[in-house]
Structure 1
Amino acid sequence: MISWPLVILFGDSITQFAFEANGWGSALSSKLVRKCDVLNRGLSGYNTRWAKYILPKLITSAQAENTVALTIFFGANDCSLQDENPQQHVPLEEYTDNLKTMIHYLKSVGITPDKIILITPPPLHEASWEKQCILKGCKLNRHNNITGEYAKACTQVAQEYGADVVDLWNLMQEGSQDYTVYLSDGLHLSDEGNQFVESKLWPILEEKVGTLPFILPYWNDVDNENPESCLFSNTTKTED
């Protein structure tokens, strides 16, 4: 069997939607075609309380051997207000512990912190998200400043364990820029937001997988006189 290395995207709806048109996940998959399989393991509406139980069922030690990078992208649901959204809310301290638990599990199966990329929740635009909440018959159930506290905790966990981190909450608001262009509804990503995530994530990911070979020879290098031997001779070439 020909085995493709794995890049696994683990997160909530922002990850689940990453393979939609113009999504950040599909952009990464396109860049890594013939080098890695990019697996989307996004779970819309999920938080770290549930994710820490699911992760061992998604990634076994056998699968971990072929995993070259993994993103953990939770927090947008965890930071929900307890009074308004108790189903998804996870207290800040527990959120922090849950991220650590997931990293410990990954280490136990051989996915070291240098292969892990944590991604913080993006900023929340309260006025836009409040409209969505009202349409669903509820009150505003998140605040941007609280989202920022979860983003800070995520960053601190990454630093503690030596993992990479993409701090979307700060990056999208850097220089007091209008971050609303990155959001489609105040919470989820717009096309511009997807492009932004991909642009910040790719340089980190490229360092981890950039030297991986092109799987199977470039078509013009296949020897028509002896194709079978040529195809499996480990010859690689970067496609023009």
Structure 2
Amino acid sequence: MVGPGRPQIVLFGSSIVQYSFSNGGWGATLADVYSRTADVILRGYGGWNSRFALKVLDQVFPKDAVVQPSLVIVYFGGNDSMPPHPSGKGAHVSLSEFIDNMRKIGEHLLPFGQDACHFLSPPPMNERQIQLVLGIDAIKGRRNEVCRPYAEALLTLCNEINVKCVDLWNVIQQQDDWLNTCFTDGIHFTAKASEVVVKEVLKVVREAEWKPSLYWKSLPIEFPFDYGIPNSLSLAELELFRNEQLELPPSTALL
């Protein structure tokens, strides 16, 4: 273990999580924001769905671990909502099973602490772009009308089990020209869409009544900034100013 010990924020999900550490991705930006206060850890990979997540849940988040995550950000739903493959081996998970799986994930993580997890809803997609970039086979079943019930049902579940949820389904569609500016291939996020995700996540953390707070401005910054230089802007202030563009007003697109 690398010291000193500090909070762990784990990203758990599918390719929306894995690719979030690419250039301009929302995971990479969160790691930058928390670079002196918390560790942002990736545990999400392309192709995963909520059914597979349950199979690895105890491995990724063992309840007897000495150090437990302070926050887990969970994303599933895009792969689950794909229609069944004729072979029976596709990523599809029925809506009822998806909700049951997400409930079990929440129940596993919440005992780690008050508000120890929150979910991201499935986002919309650009169906035409998927066809152009990924090919005709990839577009089969990738439909907004099929995915939307999964996003809506997850928001309802989060209200029931008191888990905070970022409504990516609607917040992405609120962006100007979202179909053409938010996706690299019709499914995965551009830097613009990733910035939207970061702003919403940080707002959730800022408004949560966690004690101690995981808000990036509230966490203690590791190692001293004061080098004894008189009459100069402190490095601590520069660190805070560096991410001001990621702040959102309270209570926007948030459950």
Aligned amino acid, residue 88 of structure 1: A
Q: 1:233 is matched with which residue?
A: none
Corresponding residue to 1:209 among 206, 214, 224: 214
Corresponding residue to 2:97 among 89, 94, 99: 94
Aligned amino acid, residue 119 of structure 2: L
Matched ranges for 1:8-157 at <5 A: 8-63=10-65, 65-83=67-85, 86=88, 87-108=90-111, 110-112=112-114, 114-134=115-135, 137=137, 140-157=140-157
Aligned amino acid, residue 173 of structure 1: Q
CA contact (8 A) 1:24 1:195 kept: yes
Aligned amino acid, residue 117 of structure 1: H
Using the TM superposition, give the Cα deviation of residue 206 of structure 1 relative to its aligned residue in structure 2, in angstroms: 3.6
Using the TM superposition, give the Cα deviation of residue 139 of structure 1 relative to its aligned residue in structure 2, in angstroms: 5.2
Using the TM superposition, give the Cα deviation of residue 64 of structure 1 relative to its aligned residue in structure 2, in angstroms: 7.5
In the alignment, structure 1 segments of 5+ residues that lack a partner are 222-236
Q: 2:172 is matched with which residue?
A: 172
Identity %: 27
CA pair 64-74 structure 1, distance change in 2 beyond 3 A = farther
Using the TM superposition, give the Cα deviation of residue 132 of structure 1 relative to its aligned residue in structure 2, in angstroms: 4.2
1:188 & 1:14 partners in 2: Cα distance? 6
Query: How many residues are matched?
Result: 221
Higher helix proportion (structure 1 or 2): 1
What is the TM-score of this pair, normalised by structure 2?
0.79
Using the TM superposition, give the Cα deviation of residue 61 of structure 1 relative to its aligned residue in structure 2, in angstroms: 2.8
What is the TM-score of this pair, normalised by structure 1?
0.83
CA RMSD of aligned residues (A): 2.3
2:177 & 2:92 partners in 1: Cα distance? 27
CA pair 64-120 structure 1, distance change in 2 beyond 3 A = farther
1:71 & 1:51 partners in 2: Cα distance? 13
Q: 1:224 is matched with which residue?
A: none
CA contact (8 A) 1:84 1:139 kept: no
